[in-house]
């Protein structure tokens, strides 16, 4: 075990500030690699040192492996923390670190490839007997189709692999002559698209996005830190996350967490990671979606209910320390909700809007945590994502947490750019959300203007 003495923080914004703080707590020096426009940012001021690696464009700064590694070597770092996004899941950065004698604060190159690649990860999940979600590989012919359908389970969506825009889709319920239906679908696909291959997927009408945080050390020990519910999404972007998942049955929770640990163990996963599942609300079943082989934006809600500092654990694991957390030590206490405050105008289709923050006042108090890189007078640059701050609210139970959340959101004052604060207040006040009744399509189909639902598209064709 070699304690880390200096870490290069290869990221920006709120997560860079978060990593710098964790380094400070661990007694590790931090060096921030920043683009020219981030040299005066909050993380740049918090870090022990900052070096300018390039112009604002990510391709010439945060996404450039050469510049990142050069910065680490030049400043005498022994490790690189990639944060989330950017190069955090790119084997190229992990490889370049290894070639230059730097510890990559993350999993092995093999884990990044096998865990991070969607197809390889699904293959591993299948081998482990973990149920899989929609998104099968294309199959050709009735026999292969029958085999896959057997694995996927009813109800099925069958769609032409070469089709698109909802064309050539049919919903197949249990009891249908599956072989006949597949034959028909194959010949129709061949006629319409010149390609008879099909995707056969499990149809999940009402789904929740539930993910499990795992930690693995270099000695093969893996523990989970419980689950998070991230069903409040818009165009596959998470907006609100909470821990624990409201109303989740204990045995389903246990199955999710057990499968997440099994998956991470099978990879020999080292570091912090998250295994994502889709949960079928109506059928109480879960399906593996993918694994995120990095620390995630929403890690604070797990920290709030478990008391475990995920980023500090990353640093310790990277240094070769064994995990001092046993599974029996892990328990969720209370309830936490995180709201992503972004510089987007919810009234104008969430159009991002960078600019100067003429006013910036964040709430504070018991059970309130704000992770941010913003401050009054800061200019939000146009080159990067629109996340301004994460407001994390904890309460001894969900109802208290939501009351606290509404009060906290009401205290947010941001001038100069639009924010999603009012949108969050609307969600918190909503009955469905209060009752824990939301699904992944809820924001788009219920809260905002309705869009055509799956039911309209998936009606079985009449002959």
- The reply on whether position 76 binds other proteins by CB under 8 A is yes
- How many Å apart are CA 241 and CA 138, to the nearest integer? 33
Binder of other proteins out of 16, 17, 50, 289 (CB under 8 A): 50
Does position 87 bind other proteins by CB under 8 A?
Answer: no
Min dist. Cβ of residue 341 to other proteins (A): 22
Selected from 45, 258, 324, 413, the binder of other proteins by CB under 8 A is 45
Backbone CA torsion sign across 450, 451, 453, 454: negative
What DSSP state is assigned to residue 138? Answer: P
In the set 10, 51, 103, 267, which binds other proteins (CB under 8 A)? Answer: 51
Residue among 49, 123, 262, 411 that touches other proteins (CB under 8 A) = 49
Distance, CA of 11 to CA of 381 (rounded, Å): 15
Does 42 engage in binding with other proteins (CB under 8 A)?
Answer: no
Residue 54 binds other proteins (CB under 8 A): yes
Task: Indicate the Cα dihedral angle 108, 111, 114, 118, nearest 10°.
Answer: -120
Stretch that binds other proteins, among 67-75, 86-94, 327-335, 403-411 (CB under 8 A): 67-75
The answer to the question of residue 379 lying near other proteins (CB under 8 A) is yes
Q: Which is nearer to other proteins, 74 or 347 (CB)?
A: 74
Quickly tell me which residue has 């994390």 as its tokens.
392
Sign of the C-alpha dihedral computed for residues 248, 253, 259 and 264 taken in this order: positive
Q: Among the candidate windows 17-25, 37-45, 283-291, 345-353, which touches other proteins by CB under 8 A? A: 37-45
Q: Does 373 bind other proteins (CB under 8 A)?
A: no
By CB under 8 A, is residue 22 in contact with other proteins?
no
The residue (of 150 and 382) whose beta carbon lies closer to other proteins is: 382
Give min distance, CB of 52 to other proteins, in A: 4
Q: How far is it, in rounded angstroms, from Cα 103 to Cα 312?
A: 15
* Rounded Cα distance, 331 and 305, in Å: 8
Is residue 258 part of the annotated active site? The answer reads: no
Rule CB under 8 A: is residue 457 a binding residue for other proteins?
no
Residues 89-148 that bind other proteins (CB under 8 A): 96, 100
Beta bridge partners of residue 210, listed in sequence order: 229, 277
**Virtual CA dihedral for 312, 318, 321, 322, nearest 10 degrees?**
90
Q: How far is the CB of 67 from other proteins (least distance, A)?
A: 5
Q: Nearest approach, Cβ of 12 to other proteins (angstroms)?
A: 14
Exposure string (b/e) for 338-363, b if CB count within 10 Å is 16 or more?
Answer: bbbbbbbbbeeebebbeeebeebebb
| Site membership for other proteins, residue 36 (CB under 8 A) | yes
Q: Which residues contact 188 (CB under 8 A, 6 or more apart)?
A: 160, 168
Q: Which of 228, 253, 294, 404 is catalytic?
A: 294
Alpha helices in 174-307 (DSSP H): 178-193, 250-267, 299-306
Question: Is residue 75 involved in binding other proteins (CB under 8 A)?
Answer: yes
Close Cβ partners of 428 (under 8 Å, ≥ 6 residues apart): 402, 405, 406, 409, 434
Joined tokens for residue 188: 């129709």
Question: Considering the complex, what minimum distance in angstroms separates the CB of residue 51 from other proteins?
Answer: 5
Q: Are 409 and 389 in contact (CB under 8 A)?
A: no
When asked if residue 52 is in the footprint of other proteins (CB under 8 A), the reply is: yes
Q: Which two tokens stand for residue 386?
A: 């629109």
Nearer to other proteins by Cβ, of 61 and 274: the residue is 61
Give the interface with other proteins as residue ranges (CB under 8 A): 33, 35-37, 39-40, 44-45, 47-55, 60-61, 64-67, 69-71, 74-76, 96, 100, 377, 379
Catalytically annotated residues: 294
């Amino acid at each position: 075990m070699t304690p880390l003495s200096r870490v290069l923080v290869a990221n920006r914004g709120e997560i860079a500030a978060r990593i710098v703080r964790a380094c400070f707590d661990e007694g590790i020096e931090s060096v921030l690699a920043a683009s020219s426009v981030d040299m005066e940012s909050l993380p740049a001021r918090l870090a022990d040192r900052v070096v300018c690696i390039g112009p604002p464009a990510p391709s010439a700064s945060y996404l450039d492996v050469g510049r990142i590694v050069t910065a680490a070597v030049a400043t005498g770092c022994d490790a690189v923390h990639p944060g989330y996004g950017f190069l955090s899941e790119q084997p190229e950065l992990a490889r370049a670190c290894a070639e230059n004698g730097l510890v990559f604060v993350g999993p092995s190159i093999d884990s990044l490839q096998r865990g991070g690649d969607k197809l390889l990860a699904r293959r591993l999940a299948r081998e482990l007997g973990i149920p899989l979600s929609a998104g099968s590989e294309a199959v050709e012919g009735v026999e292969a189709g029958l085999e896959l359908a057997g694995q996927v389970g009813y109800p099925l969506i069958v769609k032409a692999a070469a089709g698109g825009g909802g064309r050539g889709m049919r919903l197949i319920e249990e009891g249908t002559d599956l072989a006949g239906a597949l034959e028909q679908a194959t010949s129709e696909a061949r006629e319409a698209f010149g390609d008879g291959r099909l995707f056969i997927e499990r149809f999940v009408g009402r789904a929740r996005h539930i993910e499990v945080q795992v930690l693995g050390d270099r000695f093969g020990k893996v523990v989970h830190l419980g689950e998070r519910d991230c069903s409040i999404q818009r165009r596959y972007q998470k907006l609100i996350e909470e821990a624990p998942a409201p109303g989740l049955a204990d045995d389903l929770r246990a199955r999710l967490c057990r499968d997440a640990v099994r998956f991470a163990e099978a990879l020999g996963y080292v570091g912090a990671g998250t295994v994502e599942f889709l949960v079928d609300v109506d059928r109480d079943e879960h399906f593996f979606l993918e694994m995120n082989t990095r620390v995630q934006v929403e890690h604070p809600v797990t920290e709030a209910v478990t008391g475990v500092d995920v980023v500090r654990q990353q640093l310790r694991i990277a240094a070769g320390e064994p995990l001092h957390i046993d599974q029996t030590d892990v328990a969720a206490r209370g309830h936490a909700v995180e709201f992503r405050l972004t510089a987007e105008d919810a009234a104008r289709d969430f159009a991002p809007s960078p600019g100067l923050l003429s006013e910036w006042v964040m709430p504070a108090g018991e059970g309130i945590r704000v992770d941010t890189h913003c401050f009054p007078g800061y200019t939000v640059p146009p080159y990067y994502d629109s996340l301004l701050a994460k407001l994390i609210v904890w309460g001894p139970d969900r109802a208290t947490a939501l009351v606290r959340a509404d009060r906290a959101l009401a205290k947010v004052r941001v001038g100069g750019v639009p924010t999603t604060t009012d949108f969050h207040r609307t969600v918190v006040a909503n009955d469905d959300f209060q009752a824990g009744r939301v699904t992944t399509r809820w924001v788009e189909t219920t809260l905002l203007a309705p869009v055509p639902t799956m039911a309209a598209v998936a009606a079985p064709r009449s002959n």
